[in-house]
Amino acid sequence: MAVKKSVLYSKIWDSCNTLRSKGGMDATQYKDYVLIVLFMKVITDKYYNKKGTLIEVPEDANFNTMIALKGKKNIGEEFNKILSKIAEVNDLQNVIDVVDFNNQNKLGKGKDMVDALTGLVEIFQDPELDFSNNRADDNDVLGDAYEYLMKQFASEAGKSKGQFYTPSEVSRIISKILKINKSTKSPIEIYDMTCGSGSLLIKAGNEAKEGTKVYLYGQEKDINTVSLCVMNMFLHGNATAQIKDGNTLTNPRYIKNGKIRTFDFCVANPPFSVKKWSADLGIDNEFGRFTGFGMPPDNCADYAFLLHMLKSMDPVDGRGAIILPHGVLFRGGQEEVIRTNLIKAGLIEGIIGLPSNLFYGTGIPACIIILDKKDAKNRKDIFMIDASKYFVKDGNKNKLREEDIKKITDTYLERVEEEKYSRIVKIKDIEKEEYNLNIPRYIDSSDEEVLQDISAHLMGGIPKIDIEKLNKYWKVAPKLKDKLFKKNVKDGYLDLVIKKDTINKQISNSREFIKYFERLIKKVVKWENNNKEKLNKVNTKTSVNNLIEELSNDILLIFEDDELIDKYEAYEFLMEYYNSTLKDDLHLIIENGWIPKLVYGQDKNGKIKKNEFESDLLPKQIVIKEYFKKYADELEELNDELNDLIQEFETRIEENTGDEEIFNDDDKVNEKIIKDKIKEESEENVVILKELLENLLNQKELKNNIKILQEKLNNLIIEKYDSFDEKTSKELIINKKWFKSLENRFGDAYIDMIYNLSNKISSEFENYENTLNVLMKETSDLESLVLKDLERMGYKC
């Protein structure tokens, strides 16, 4: 059965907590143990006893042999032997065998170590985590799980320790803007000089056109991170990737005929501003990387990495993209010399400014610098994007949304100029700025200052210019504007015609807005009609990646000219649903087919709970609404009646509890207590007690009726699921789940628009509501009242 991402991730993350509770490891240490066991589980499931596989898995050295060691005193020592053998037969020595599973300082001594490693194996032994039969070619659930874990580890590792991981969103941008998919060569070679765990390199490789051979090359300084990267390559099907260790700047490992080897494409997210980087450089390993540009300063390696990339790019057609701190764009001294030479040589194609706090290990803002050799001699400009304000908060970090990624890549590839966002900057203009590339010098993305109108504060009225800033709404509803405002006695000012607390109602009931909503839903329905057949045809051969690209491109086209919803916002709505639900659903269908299966709850002993069930693919609430609404309504009615009785009972108890009342504070009122009290209380209190007793009996009857009806409904639901054929399943899943969810998302966006407009108008009104004259009159009135009070008390002012 297919594994849902959310289930897989949570189960694997449990393993991290298991180890963390047993030993004294931080995130940078325990990630190595967890990811190696995941690797062993995956290669055993996918490659054990299969011919022609990416990796050889010996009979006596695999995940199954690790299972057999659970609870054994020598478990850590034996794990080391298993990894050593896997490394030996696959030429992976000093890669996957670098972590010591017998380290008492990290895993604990004796029983603590045995329990920690046994618990770790048991997490991955779960039957739901079976990776042997993934039928979807692009179902990257394993790689995604690996990347998810690395993200979690990076997040927990803290400052300066999370640099082994480049956020997936940034990796995707770099992979797109390099135009790898436009290359007509085969094979193509892609290189990352500071590859970390390999996520950026893998995403770049995935951008190649179908049928193109891709060879990946990486170098990483940290030996444990090299291990992560190699395993990541295997899990993503890149067994031919070459990953070498060592310091790229002082010991570059990719050398050909005594020179730096070159590649078609280069990507990198090097550590920022490394100090004393050149201490071990020496003339023998400089390789002419800095010739013609200048020597980077010893206290900052940023340009050393950039110039190494430049040297590693194919001399004719090479393209590269590197992530660096913004300082490289404007710092002086030797860096200014290098920057000037790069610009004069036409080697910088573009710069993309990113939001701050995106990266693990640092909160400073970074930029992507795109290098290109092919058109360098003829380059007359540099394309710049300031995307610094486009993100969403994600815990204590910032994160690029799907719409942000798409907008950046579309804008860059199509070289679209947009005010406050992107601009083609001529080299001659950069010369005038003394080769300073600081983005704000060329793109003013600052928020518009909110100006206060003194005249309006003094004399009243809402500045007309403020209302005209809401022009996109008035284009949709020009008549509404006239219903809301009238001209003030002063030119250039308006008065609100209606009461402030009716603004939202007036907008909501506007025929113009209602018609806009109808147009909005028609666009959503148009998208549905365009793509329903594509979704209907999903089968074992479907490429989910290709499908979602078609679906998302279509929604961009349909919302190209919408008056109020930006096309990238519409794209975000679709991609939000894809990432949260649709992606999992599509892979479930590819693995198991269209007919939904019920999953039953279990008690702590593993016994099935027949009245607790759900379906990931087709939630039972959809089935109830479609087929059994009468029963659901009746159940809701009975539950409401029960809740009313419970509330009434609790109120009466509270009213009759306390000193000299029927009940004491300590009484737990139930049927027995009430019956006992009836025998001993006064006639007046007996009446109350009998009413309470009747309430309880009615509750009991209702609960029984609810139970009977719920069981009947459950049986009907189970029978209905058993009766579903493929045609019916498709209709329900596509129309009632996927399409309905998207329609609801656009409906919510429409409601948000109404509230946003209402709030903006209310704000404007409140801002200028109390004029100086009104405030002075109020002050005068208050002063008069105070003086009168003083006179009454015998004081004359």
At residue 681 the predicted structure's pLDDT band, cuts being 50, 70 and 90, is confident
Distance CA 600, CA 367 (A): 49
Residue located via tokens 């109120």: 651
The verdict on whether omega for the bond into residue 187 sits within 30 degrees of 0, i.e. cis, is yes
Instruction: Say if residue 136's pLDDT is above 70.
Output: no
pLDDT value of residue 137: 46
At residue 185 the predicted structure's pLDDT band, cuts being 50, 70 and 90, is very high
At residue 161 the predicted structure's pLDDT band, cuts being 50, 70 and 90, is very low
Each residue's pLDDT tens digit, 716-748? 999 999 999 999 999 999 999 999 999 999 999
Whether 692 contacts 678, CB under 8 Å? no
pLDDT value of residue 639: 96
* Interval 570-596 mean pLDDT: 94
Q: Where are the alpha helices (DSSP H) in 90-177?
A: 104-107, 111-124, 141-157, 168-177
pLDDT value of residue 259: 94
* Interval 638-646 mean pLDDT: 96
**pTM of full prediction above 0.85:** yes
At residue 550 the predicted structure's pLDDT band, cuts being 50, 70 and 90, is very high
pLDDT value of residue 213: 95
Q: Which two tokens stand for residue 638?
A: 């009975």
Judged by DSSP in three states, 614 sits in: strand
Each residue's pLDDT tens digit, 11-54? 777 666 666 665 666 656 777 788 888 889 888 888 888 877 77
Q: Which two tokens stand for residue 165?
A: 């991981």
Distance CA 381, CA 426 (A): 4
Distance CA 414, CA 722 (A): 51
Q: Which two tokens stand for residue 354?
A: 């990113």
Strands (E), 341-443: 348-353, 366-372, 381-386, 392-394, 397-399, 422-426
Instruction: Give the CB-side neighbour count of residue 632, counting CA atoms within 13 A.
Output: 11
